[in-house]
Structure 1
Amino acid sequence: MNVDWSKSAEVREIVRRALAEDLGPSGLDVTSLATIPADQTDTGDLVARADGVVAGLDVAAAVFDEASAGTVKVSIKASDGARVTRGDVLATVAGPTRAILTAERTALNLLCRMSGVATHTRAWADALAGTKALVLDTRKTTPGLRVLEKYAVRAGGGTNKRMGLYDVAMIKDNHKLAAGGLTDAYRLVRSAFPDVPIQVEVETVAEAVESVEAGAEFLLCDNMSPALLREVVAAVGDRAELEATGGLTLDQAREYAETGVDYLSVGALTHSSPILDIALDLRPRS
């Protein structure tokens, strides 16, 4: 499911900022400039150092392209979303050695991060297999990397929730308090933004029923036990989609999925996933 990020202005800007962070005000990789002749070329391989799920190969390619003004060529050998094993070659890069090494860490930072998110997400998707429940991400993303991390969730078999505060209205406890109550908050949002999907956070069966009676079609069941979730599922029926959220852990995934909810929302997919270790190995020179 590789995506051609070279056509995405948003991703290109992420790549430029990441490279600028490494190169600083001078724009120089002082080590490579000092040690490598300007006309030297090499070939190298992006190699998995651990088992996992890869995501972000085209993002890494965009880094090499940006850093080299197109002189480094990248040949991608795997597909985003694929399971990989230690030692697998994921991509090959060829071109000016200075440019390859200048781009190396930035490309790997993004690729390892995205692959770590995809790997973690795949573990949740596997745990939910055979149930109707899907794993959702949240807005708990690394600032500036949301579009990449949410893509990585999809590559790992997860589902994106909302991208931001603009595309879905989510009525949480503070909104209810500020608006004078759940039903009033729902009415105000629907009046102001008639075409925007509305989700309502609930903590009790009574709140769930009040929400669907107000018109809500998606409920966030916050910090509920599996037993309480089953009560909500029975009370709501098919009047709304239901999401279990709040401190869920992988060892609980199956138990929560089997309550009959439609989704499990897991902020840890993006805020706590370890990277997947991937390295760049230059091939020996003949």
Structure 2
Amino acid sequence: MSGGRVRYRIASKLIKKRRWGGEPDEWVVLEEAYRSAELNLRLGGERIDKAPFGTTSFSFAGLFEKFKTFVDGPEGQRLGLPHIPPGPVTSRGVRRTLAIAVAYRPGGLLAAKVQIKQVHAATTEGYAHRPGGAQGLFMAEVAELERDRQLQLTKAAWDDFKEGRMPSGPGAPMLIAAFEHIDAQLAETPPGPAHVLDVDQQLINLLRPHAERLHVGVANYCWFRDPAKALCLRLAGAVIGPDSKPLIGMCDAARCPQATHHGEHRSVWLSSADRSRKLLTVLPRSQKDARTRIQMDVDRSQRVVDAIDAALAV
């Protein structure tokens, strides 16, 4: 005991991959392991070389059979232990049965993970015959949050449009045309205070199809309406089909016809231009090809920044 804390130590022998007869060793263990070893000694008559239930072989199958005989025998009946049905019993089966018994209770999956002391919940799901449970729930939650976030970003782009702050980029005309169409549909709604909530819900319903096509890039929004127009897929040589998804990591937002730039993207493009300018100051003039490529990056980033500023000017 030290500082009010108790350390539980077990002294035994290492057998596996050791010389004949084993080698003595000690371990600091949890209290549960210490109590289990203590019970094992009590059942074995305080002798380490005598295992419980009259066996000295380290075989779980044999131990379980001896345990079943003990429970189903007179001693088990005297103690009121429930009868164990016939059939083979293994350590894996015991852990699986325990996992099933615990995991199928409310909130029991996490409790089973803690009880069996498994690192990942996915392992416990396998024991409890519920594969993919946690992963499926997690992915469903992520997808729901992504849909909400996409709708919020689309609504923010709509609010900017209504206030005169337009998007820029190759896909800006298509997005502006879509917003103008939505505005015309909303204008057909009869005015009046009783229709305020209906108009808000109608706006959400009209924006939702556009939000479902939105993919958020590092420095742009990708409104993935037509896979055949996706520059990233064409550059990658991917097979384009109706279920194709954009390759955001390969996005060339300055050229893709479905990419738009908004106010929140300005700092990213401006930072890219500044870093490229700093690189030009330290690059030797003899490396003309490299300087030309970097200058092209500077010019492209600056054009995007200028276009964002011009589109946001109210």
Pairwise TM-score range, normalised by the shorter structure: under 0.3
Q: Which has the higher contact order (CA 8 A, sep 6+)?
A: 1
In terms of fraction of residues, the more strand-rich structure is 1
Task: Give the TM-score normalised by structure 1.
Answer: 0.24
Of structures 1 and 2, the larger Rg is shown by 2
Task: Give the TM-score normalised by structure 2.
Answer: 0.23
